[in-house]
Amino acid sequence: MQKRTMLSAIALAAAAFAAPVLAQDKPLKIGVTAGPHAQILEQVKKIAEKDGLKLQIVEFSDYIQPNAALAAGDLDANSYQHKPFLDQQVKDRAYRIVPVGYTVNFPIGIYSRKVHNLKDLKEGARVGIPNDPTNGGRVLLVLQDQGLIRLKPEADLKATPLDVVDNPKKLRFVEVEAAQLARTLDDLDAAAINTNYALPAGLNPGKDAIAQESAKSPYVNLIAVREQDKDKPWVGKLVRAYQSDEVRRFVQAEFKGAVLAGF
């Protein structure tokens, strides 16, 4: 009986030591939106494996679910959003999610199948913009920079159509989920489409956009994790893998200026 008890104790001790090892062997789940973010993460995955970090890429089709999944613990990190968007999500939903490293910049473009220049838009033209506050605001700032509208002086990155105080062409703004904007081009006079959705739709920002956001914008994307995880060793490894020379070269070669390294 004593021998059996001793063996049981040894087995329990072995299990206690084994559990953390098995937990570390599980791949980290990283949420991304389909398209360029997923393509880049495939390269990051290869580099991270050399440093003993296993990644599992989980693709989403919208901007809302990756943060919801991260906050719920279904993901370990995500890589798809810029800081103004994350800040708004944290404010609106009380997420305890923080940025840990910059990734790439996707200058937003305005596209049209009806005109070749924004100034050719007719009076009352319908312009599609993302329906989330941060991306909608960045489009309005592009239109202001192009001289088509004027916003309230106090309007910031989260400007909405209600902040438009001068609109000589009486443009009508149609707010659409960002992922769906590429499908509206035939129905609208113009639409602003995030690059990560434009590229899969066959749109080349460098050639097809009739106007584009400056590369020097506050919309550099980032890697986000739960606040409780930000100091864990794997976070530094993930950021280093992303911000590597190999990833920088891949971005330059694959996207030819449509996506810019922001690190």
> 38 and 74: one domain?
yes
Residue 4 has pLDDT above 50, yes or no: no
Check residue 215 and give its pLDDT.
Answer: 65
Q: Which residues pair with 46 in a beta bridge?
A: none
The two tokens of residue 213 are: 């956001």
Q: Is the pTM of this model over 0.95?
A: no
Neighbours of 71 (CB within 10 A): 18
Instruction: Kindly state the average pLDDT of the residues 232-251.
Output: 98
Residue 261 has pLDDT above 50, yes or no: yes
Instruction: Kindly state the average pLDDT of the residues 130-152.
Output: 93
> 63 and 47: one domain?
yes
Q: Are 86 and 93 in contact (CB under 8 A)?
A: no
Q: Are 81 and 224 in contact (CB under 8 A)?
A: yes
Residue 18 has pLDDT above 50, yes or no: no
Q: What are phi and psi of 176, to 5 degrees?
A: -135, 150
Among 193, 212, 231, residue at a domain's last position: 212
Among 195, 212, 229, residue at a domain's last position: 212
Q: How many CA atoms does the CB half-sphere of 230 hold within 13 Å?
A: 11
> 131 and 99: one domain?
no
Question: For residues 25 and 149, which has the higher predicted lDDT (pLDDT)?
Answer: 149
Count of structural domains within the chain: 2
pLDDT tier, 10 (very low <50, low <70, confident <90, very high otherwise): very low
Digit-coded pLDDT (tens) for 172-208:
999 999 999 999 999 999 999 998 899 899 998 888 9
Amino acid letter for position 23: A
Check residue 242 and give its pLDDT.
Answer: 98
Digit-coded pLDDT (tens) for 243-255:
999 999 999 999 9
Please, which residues have CB within 8 angstroms of residue 11's CB and are 6 or more apart in sequence? none
Helix (H) or strand (E) holding 93: helix 83-93
Helix (H) or strand (E) holding 145: helix 133-145
Instruction: Kindly state the average pLDDT of the residues 199-224.
Output: 88
> 101 and 113: one domain?
no
Instruction: Kindly state the average pLDDT of the residues 131-145.
Output: 91
> 102 and 115: one domain?
no
In the chain, pLDDT over 90 holds for what percent of residues?
78
In the chain, pLDDT over 70 holds for what percent of residues?
90
pLDDT tier, 19 (very low <50, low <70, confident <90, very high otherwise): very low
Residue 156 has pLDDT above 90, yes or no: no
> 8 and 133: one domain?
no
> 232 and 157: one domain?
no
Q: Name the 3-class secondary structure at 190.
A: strand
> 98 and 15: one domain?
yes
Report how far residue 80's alpha carbon sits from residue 65's, in angstroms, rounded to the nearest whole number.
11
Q: Are 203 and 110 in contact (CB under 8 A)?
A: no
Digit-coded pLDDT (tens) for 65-88:
999 999 999 999 999 999 999 999
**Domain span including residue 41:** 2-106+219-261
Check residue 133 and give its pLDDT.
Answer: 81
Q: Which residues pair with 212 in a beta bridge?
A: 109
